[in-house]
Amino acid sequence: MYCLVRGGALVWRFWVSEGFWPPAEVFSKGGNGGCGLVRRGHWPRLGPCLFVMNKPLLRVSEVACARGGLTVLEGISFDVHAGTALILRGPNGSGKTTLLRTLAGLQTAVAGEVSVADETIAYAGHADGLKGTLTVAENLSFWASLFGFGAITPALGAFELSGLSDRAAQSLSAGQKRRLGLARMLVTGRPVWLLDEPTVSLDVSAVALFGEAVKRHLAGGGVAVIATHIDLGIEAEVLDLSAFRAVAPRGGAFDEAFI
């Protein structure tokens, strides 16, 4: 389905066949009414307008993924539409990290297909990617410049790091480091967040800050796939990975045999 939007107001909904328009540019700055894929266009009687396509930002079909040469998950299928989140649950070793790394393109799926545009993904793993000798602001502005995103002040503010911006990252506490690692997601400006255990070492108020950040991200048309065990206060679909455990673990991609 496509929606025609002008000045933030929905003008018209219509359906056209798949492939009528090529994949649209990704409109990731938010504020586009909960839809992620947008095409700027021109309509004869309306002037400049946006064509919003209500396609899933992330589609996973019959994916199997392997870790250490063994297939751990198989038969996973889901769609994540703009403005929604998906929570991954499952016991330790059930493959949450493996699935997220597969979605991020860091490893290839053994079977099935992951449909997501590479340039829409921001992945945060267990490590925060911080350099201890750089200050908080330097760490964050590096990632902001790499992703072509200007200001770091809103990201610092969102995780209450403004007062710490001149401190060296190595002098932060574990929870503060984690908050800085999460603030990194905000400066990517990317719509698809893949978060692996984001709340580790966060206190209750920091978890609430994170929940707020995710809600704002979703309201701006982004999506989030989060592997977590605690309640973030976000309305989201829950996917329990223990249901997709590979029946008989078998060898993965052949090149892993040499490692």
Partner 1 sequence: MKGLLQRDLRLAIRAGGGFGLALAFFLIVVILVPFGVGPSADVLAPIAPGVLWLGALLACLLSLDRIFATDYEDGSLEFLATAPVPLEGVVAVKALAHWLTTGLPLTLAAPVFGVFLNLPSGGYGWLVASLALGTPALSMIGAFGAALTVGLKRGGLLLSLLVLPLYIPTLIFGADTVRRGVDGLEAGTSLILMTGITLGTLALLPFAGAAALRVNLR
According to the binding rule CB under 8 A, does residue 127 interact with partner 1? yes
Please, which of residues 44-73 interact with partner 1 by CB under 8 A? none
According to the binding rule CB under 8 A, does residue 105 interact with partner 1? yes
- Work out the number of other CB atoms within 10 angstroms of the CB of residue 172: 20
Q: Which residues of 101-131 are buried (b: 16+ CB within 10 A; e: fewer)?
A: bbbbeebebbebebebbeebbbbbbeebebe
**Window contacting partner 1 (CB under 8 A); options: 8-16, 87-95, 125-133, 226-234:** 125-133
Q: Please select the residue that binds partner 1; options are 54, 107, 162, 165, rule is CB under 8 A.
A: 107
According to the binding rule CB under 8 A, does residue 161 interact with partner 1? no
Q: Phi, psi at residue 11, to the nearest 5°?
A: -100, -45
According to the binding rule CB under 8 A, does residue 112 interact with partner 1? no
- For residue 98 the two structure tokens come to 């493996």
Q: Please select the residue that binds partner 1; options are 12, 25, 29, 133, rule is CB under 8 A.
A: 133
Residues in the chain: 259
- Distance of closest approach, residue 128 Cβ to partner 1, in angstroms: 6
Q: Please select the residue that binds partner 1; options are 35, 128, 195, 222, rule is CB under 8 A.
A: 128
According to the binding rule CB under 8 A, does residue 166 interact with partner 1? no
For the chain, the straight-line distance linking the first and the last C-alpha, in angstroms and rounded, comes to 46
Helix (H, G, I), strand (E, B) or coil at 240: strand
Sign for the CA dihedral angle at 153, 155, 160, 166 comes to negative
According to the binding rule CB under 8 A, does residue 122 interact with partner 1? yes
Q: How many CA atoms lie within 13 A of 12 on its CB side?
A: 10
According to the binding rule CB under 8 A, does residue 146 interact with partner 1? yes
CA distance 111 to 203: 39
CB 191 within 8 A of CB 120: yes
According to the binding rule CB under 8 A, does residue 186 interact with partner 1? no
Q: Please select the residue that binds partner 1; options are 184, 198, 207, 221, rule is CB under 8 A.
A: 184
CB 81 within 8 A of CB 57: yes
**Window contacting partner 1 (CB under 8 A); options: 47-55, 78-86, 124-132, 212-220:** 124-132
Q: Please select the residue that binds partner 1; options are 4, 49, 134, 246, rule is CB under 8 A.
A: 134
- For residue 182 the two structure tokens come to 């999460």
Please, which of residues 234-253 interact with partner 1 by CB under 8 A? none
Number of residues forming the site for partner 1 (CB under 8 A): 30
Of 64 and 122, which CB lies nearer to partner 1 in the complex structure?
122
- For residue 75 the two structure tokens come to 């038969």
The footprint of partner 1 (CB under 8 A) covers 104-108, 118-119, 121-131, 133-134, 138, 141-143, 145-148, 184, 255
